[in-house]
Homo-oligomer: A and B are copies of this chain.
């Protein structure tokens, strides 16, 4: 195993939602060391201007590069939409994967003929039309339907995952999509995998495959590391280092809900 294989995978998000990506990578690649950066002091990015999102994303990229990461996963849909080219340029020879690309590829593969694809995400992700462009670049015959669902993030953070309010909210946002009988629906926000079961229930008679891009990017990471002979083959359980720019109230509870397990140590490392 090359010494570089022992280097960590860097994963970042505007806040704690990206821990759903950490969870998926841990499950797929349990021997990898992972460094996570969540910009909790400045979350949410989804309502900020594109130039602000770019500036923040580059600050985090610089932080991860100083940590000698072997690859960078952009776990934030807003950053993938607004700044993925900027992050790639800054990262140079370090490969960068992002959730938009991963979700797009998975949606196109979901069914024999995925012709009608839905995307849900934050206002910024949807307004940027990144998923739409990403899908049409792969295949211009597809039809893409997009919808911003800004209430799903606060619902996830309140822990209202499967009550009457979350079901009504999902119905309010997805009624049109159910009527259209889409082939695939991309969960284009790192918080949304928490509602995967409820969304699948709501769409159950429409034949729509629900795409969890956290799972998709974990699979792409395995392929990338294998191809570049960078898989950590030490056999030891990987180390997880969690950095945040601020430690908000209820952070521990929320982080553990997203990560799906206990989180022992969190370091506060502001970027400004």
The residue on B at minimum CB distance from A248 is B47
- Asked if B47 contacts A249 (CB within 8 A), the reply is yes
With both chains docked as a complex, state the minimum distance between the C-beta of A245 and any C-beta of chain B, in angstroms.
Answer: 9
**Chain A residues with a Cβ closer than 8 Å to the other chain, count:** 30
With A42-B42, A49-B248, A246-B49: A158-B168 Cβ-Cβ less than 8 Å: no
- Which parts of A14-60 form the interface with B (CB within 8 Å)? 40-43, 47-49, 52
Other A-B pairs beyond A41-B48, A42-B42, A127-B249, 10, CB < 8 Å: A40-B47, A47-B250, A48-B246, A49-B249, A123-B249, A123-B250, A151-B158, A151-B165, A164-B168, A165-B172
A47 proximity list for chain B (CB < 8 A): 40, 43, 248-250
Residues 133-160 of A contacting B (Cβ, < 8 Å): 150-151, 153-155, 157-158, 160
Q: Which residue of B lies closest to A166 (CB)?
A: B165
Chain A residues 155-210 with CB under 8 Å of chain B are: 155, 157-158, 160, 164-165, 168-169, 172
Q: How distant is the Cα of A11 from the Cα of B222 in the complex, in angstroms?
A: 52
Given contacts A150-B157, A154-B151, A158-B150, contact A246 B165 (CB under 8 A): no
